[in-house]
Structure 1
Amino acid sequence: MALKMIRRPPRTLASRIRPPVKLTDPFYQSAGWRALAADIKRQRRYRCEACGSDFSRRADKLIADHIVERSAGGAEFDPLNIQCLCIACHNRKTAKARKARKARTAGTAGG
């Protein structure tokens, strides 16, 4: 007797779990922040301040980023606390900060 082929693979747990929806902080949707971010990008000539890449033709790929995070007490509207980063550099900075936060909270939980 021959085995029949399964037409559809069985569903796994991973295929049923969806990542949580990312919520945008309303601060970054405010008119004040959007105007400041646009001014900063223009003043700094649409260049990533980490890698130096030119984003003058793709300004939407450049992020106005707080150097000292707002959650850590960084000034929200101070141009000296804002840097322009491309998406790749911003993701690296964010991952590094997230890892540092996780290490700090792990260190405080044990002691």
Structure 2
Amino acid sequence: MSRIPILSPLVPKSDGRSVQTEPKRVDPFYQSDGHKRFRDAVLARAGYRCEWIENGQRCTKAAPAHRLFADHVDERKDGGDQLDPANGECLCGQHHSIKTARARAQRFGLKG
């Protein structure tokens, strides 16, 4: 019995997007010594624990088990001070994403 050769597909594989997005690039600001000092100060002040408050309880996620972000309370895009630790809060990845999405929605006039 002879085997039937399998042909490769005629249509190339696609990820389904009609427009390809550009690869992410790190903003050089986040690599600066000033931002590193800002980040260190914000995380240390918070005791390396997420500062998000929900239902009257502070988030329990903390370093080293969880990745933490020094988030700008008033975002840089909205004119917030970039390097003042008083404009920073320590957030875990989940709460950083929520806060950023809400700020973006508000910036574009959507509910957030």
Whether these two folds match at TM > 0.5 is yes
Distance between the aligned counterparts of 2:77 and 2:19, measured in 1?
29
Find out whether 1:55 has 2:48 as its counterpart: no
Distance between the aligned counterparts of 2:27 and 2:89, measured in 1?
18
Which residue matches 1:23?
Answer: 25
User: Is contact 2:38–2:84 with CA below 8 Å preserved after alignment?
Assistant: no
- Summarize the Cα distance change of 1:12–1:57 in structure 2 as closer, same or farther, 3 Å threshold: closer
Pairwise CA distance, 1:103: 2.3
User: Is contact 2:71–2:90 with CA below 8 Å preserved after alignment?
Assistant: yes
Any gaps of 5 or more consecutive residues in structure 1?
105-111
- Summarize the Cα distance change of 1:9–1:17 in structure 2 as closer, same or farther, 3 Å threshold: farther
Query: Greater helix percent: which structure?
Result: 1
Residues 32-41 or 83-92, more deviating:
32-41
TM-score (norm 1): 0.72
- Summarize the Cα distance change of 1:12–1:55 in structure 2 as closer, same or farther, 3 Å threshold: same
- Summarize the Cα distance change of 1:12–1:29 in structure 2 as closer, same or farther, 3 Å threshold: closer
Distance between the aligned counterparts of 2:18 and 2:35, measured in 1?
37
Find out whether 1:79 has 2:82 as its counterpart: no
TM-score (norm 2): 0.71
Which residue matches 2:34?
Answer: 32
Please, which of 31, 48, 51 is the counterpart of residue 46 of structure 1?
48
RMSD between superposed Cα atoms in Å: 2.6
Tell me how many residue pairs correspond in the alignment.
Answer: 99
2:92 counterpart letter in structure 1 = C
2:25 counterpart letter in structure 1 = L
